[in-house]
Structure 1
Amino acid sequence: MFYHVLKYVLLGPLLRLLFRPRIEGLEHIPAEGAAIIAGNHLSFSDHFLMPAILKRRITFLAKAEYFTGPGLKGRLTAAFFRSAGQIPVDRSGKDAGRAAIREGLGVLSKGELLGIYPEGTRSHDGRLYKGKVGVAVMALRAEVPVVPCAMVGTFEIQPPGQTLPKIKRVTVRFGKPLDFSRYAGMEDEKAILRAVTDEIMYAVLELSGQEYVDRYAAEVKAEAEAAKKTGRR
């Protein structure tokens, strides 16, 4: 109930009024049935802007840190994400990927929309990074289409580290659903999972126009942070 109040009464109308999002390709979102919406991830604002413009409910796999933050801010953030029906996923440890896939398949088994960011984390510099294969595993196991999505302009309004977003128009762009039924039963083949993931990321790239980096975002981000620390010494 809180999800619908938030979407249609509180946050949704406010976001549409402030950011006046341009919406392109909304007809590519299935009217019913399960599907994965796979997009780039440039800003904390992405979590709110996409659901605000979709008619159907969408559930995101959100990092567990959003649910475990300290202090009043942490408790409010956790309450917000839980009330909005978002699912916490622990991204640490060897079982993190399996947990995310299990939770995602649970959403899809109910015939719902699942939102996922294949990069696994926000881009720290606005570029598009290599996708992790979890999105391919879920698409093949659940036998559902993947709708590529590009958030355009959200990095500029709220880059990582900026608390409040700038009031500026953004674009949410959806591409044609990708059908991977030709790979049915091959979800354990590493080469197939990589090919499917790369096809999804290429579709996102075409929609977003970002510069592409064929490396995982978390690795590049860790290297940049290490370089900063070294420079301070």
Structure 2
Amino acid sequence: MSIEQQLADVVDSATALTDQVVGKMAEIDDKVNHITEHAQNAVNDATNKLGFMAMNRNHRLSAYITSPEANKHGVINKYPMWWGIKRDVIEKCHLELIPVLSGEDPDNRHPEARELVELIGMENLRHFSGGLFHILKITVLDETVSEAEGWAMYIADQHIKANPATTFLCYAKVNAKGHASWLGSDTDGEWVQKRSLLDSNKPGSYVHVDINFHNSVEVGDEFFLALPSVVPGVWPDGKKHGVLYNLHDKINERLIYIEDKL
């Protein structure tokens, strides 16, 4: 056999071996991808089956206070009970509550309510768990509301532990030139879910859900907020939330009943 033929045989053998190696590598890659996909699906399935609760009072914004008199702009404000709201905000903003009511014909719901339940995935539900929640609408009437020191307003039980991990969830819609902490800036006319994971390796770490309006806000800016929920643990990214279990709900329902009787 000539040297040329021997070299050709070596090349052919090397090529065949390379093809076998490539084939085995592809087979291994397929198996690894399958195992990875299976593991991720198992993790996602387990995560979706975890129990979650809202720890903050009035996360449905169902219990509220009505201002006894109009502010300097002539509007009567309604705002969630147990929230911290500075007098300056009450004087310089219009605070409204838009009901989202179970049992109501979906076509008869307020436009903002219809848009929100569509994002959540409840657009075809006439009845939903929770019965009622409100959307808080904040309209800026005086841009100097951004000058509030420290905080302008905060949710009930705004103190959130970051160790162990806690998730803050809410739905927001912003029609504004300015922006607000936790709600963000203009959302192009769309409702969005906000998910903030608070996770620190330092025991005792915490964060406050304080809402501030920043100095770019203008008269007429609108901020919408719904279902602000403080949830222990890591809420799955991309998973929408509705009215969650909340041990404070019975207290809220009693307060609403009492207010209806007044």
Q: Which has the higher contact order (CA 8 A, sep 6+)?
A: 1
- More strand per residue: 1 or 2? 2
- More helix per residue: 1 or 2? 1
- Asked which structure has the greater CA Rg, the reply is 2
TM over 0.5: no
